[in-house]
Amino acid sequence: MVVLPGWLDQVPEIDFTREKEMLTQLEAWAVKKGWAVTDGAGLPSGLRERTDVLLTHPDGEKRIRVAVLQKNRSSSGYIRLDASNLRTLELEFRRKHWRVLAGAVPIEDDIVTRGWDWLVKLMFRP
């Protein structure tokens, strides 16, 4: 089951197709690895407002809140990933690729090439 935020289809004249495709890939990876994928409805209201998709590891201790950031017609797409250990990464769509940023500093040019395993290990590395 794919959990896509409904608001992506309600923004007039803004195309979130790339964001939907990236969320679908991330969710497919998570399900394959045994993570639970939800819309974050069980989170406290402040976190729920900033969460489009919630990934929960089977051990229950690791969680990743995923949020698609607003954009205008001429801006790049951004997806923010907040780990339960307080690490935050962003995915930015640039030149046909989603690159990974940490604190606005690019650390990988193409997440699809590197893979979700790499990204999650990076987020939860001690």
Instruction: Kindly report whether the global pTM for this prediction surpasses the value 0.85.
Output: yes
Q: Where are the domains of the chain?
A: 15-124
Tokens 């590395």 correspond to what residue? 125
Q: How far apart are CA 67 and CA 12, in angstroms?
A: 19
Give the pLDDT confidence of 4-29 residue by residue, as tens digits.
Answer: 888 888 888 888 989 999 999 999 99
Instruction: Read off the amino acid at residue 84.
Output: S
Give the pLDDT confidence of 25-81 residue by residue, as tens digits.
Answer: 999 999 999 999 999 988 888 888 889 999 999 998 999 999 999 888 778 899 999
